[in-house]
Amino acid sequence: MDESPAERKKRAKRILVGLRKTYGDATTALHHESALQLLVATILSAQSTDKNVNKVTPGLFKKYRSAKDFADADREILEQRIYSTGFFRQKAKSIQGACRLIVERYGGEVPNTMEDLLQLPGVARKTANVVLGTWFRRNEGIAVDTHVGRLAERMALSWRGRNSKDAVKIESDLVELLPRKEWAYFSHAMILHGRRVCTASKPKCAACSLARYCPSAE
Ligand code: SF4
């Protein structure tokens, strides 16, 4: 697409306005009542659906109420409780590793900076961005999951990450295009759009409210 950086920025803002019109105040579908619960739910959501995670977390959060509870949990029992979200061994390891560090280094409280969150085992930028932007209301980056990455490419909003599926490159392109206060919102709304309209297998371009700003519109 032949477009100057200024034109791309303008188009990105129009996409943002279109997302607001269509999805209002979109936010995460993961049920949570604390930073810790959001962190755990986000770890569980990898390669799973929010619906699946929301089935597991009520019982899980009743049983484990603090980072220490997760840190001290019997690993096998924890694995059984999260089994249905898939990749349960790796996820249990990540949750426990993260919670142990939260207890040891942060007094049991989930830290609220990107630097500290990235120290936690199993926590990469996507998870850190979700927790920072959604719970702490700190926009330090844009959470790029499979939907955001796919849509950014289809909408030609990422140039460095194009064809590479490199979430960090895609994120660095997106933060240049969008106002910081909208970063968390943009990610949530793009995820909804990716689930409902711009799906992986068959984008519904004819029904897409953003088609006029999208070079991939059919
Ligand atoms: S026009 Fe098509 S490809 Fe572009 S965002 Fe909409 S559904 Fe996706």
pLDDT of 160: 76
Q: Which of these three, 113, 135, 157, is where a domain ends? A: 135
Any idea which residue has 């209301």 for tokens?
137
State how far the Cα of 134 lies from the Cα of 144, in Å rounded to an integer: 14
Q: Which of these three, 70, 104, 135, is where a domain ends? A: 135
pLDDT in tens, 108-160: 999 999 999 999 999 999 999 999 999 999 999 999 999 999 999 999 999 87
Both 131 and 157 in one domain: the answer is no
- 200: number of Cβ within 10 Å: 11
Q: Which of these three, 80, 110, 135, is where a domain ends? A: 135
Both 130 and 171 in one domain: the answer is no
Both 49 and 65 in one domain: the answer is yes
Residue 11 domain-assigned (yes or no):
yes
- Higher-scoring residue by pLDDT: 25, 76: 76
Cβ–ligand 1 contact at 101 (below 6 Å): no
Q: b/e string for 112-128 if b means 16 or more Cβ within 10 A? A: beeebbeebebbebbbb
Nearest protein CA to atom 2 of ligand 1, as residue: 205
Residue 218 domain-assigned (yes or no):
no
51 is catalytic: no
Q: How far is CA 214 from CA 31, 37, 89, 136, 207, in A?
A: 32, 36, 40, 32, 13
Domain that holds residue 162: 5-26+142-213
Main-chain dihedrals φ then ψ at residue 123, nearest 5 degrees: -110, 115
Both 179 and 156 in one domain: the answer is yes
- 69: number of Cβ within 10 Å: 15
Task: Report whether 93 contacts 78 (CB < 8 A).
Answer: no
Distance 210 CA to ligand 1 centre (A): 7
Q: Domain count of the chain?
A: 2
Report helix, strand or coil for 109.
Answer: coil
Distance 152 CA to ligand 1 centre (A): 10
Both 105 and 175 in one domain: the answer is no
Q: Domain with 95 in it: what CATH number? A: 1.10.340.30
- The packing angle between helices 167-177 and 146-154, to 10°, is 60
Average pLDDT of the chain to the nearest whole number? 95
Any idea which residue has 């579908």 for tokens?
29
Q: Domain with 146 in it: what CATH number? A: 1.10.1670.10
Sign of CA dihedral 10, 171, 119, 73: positive
Query: Does the pLDDT of residue 164 top 90, yes or no?
Result: no
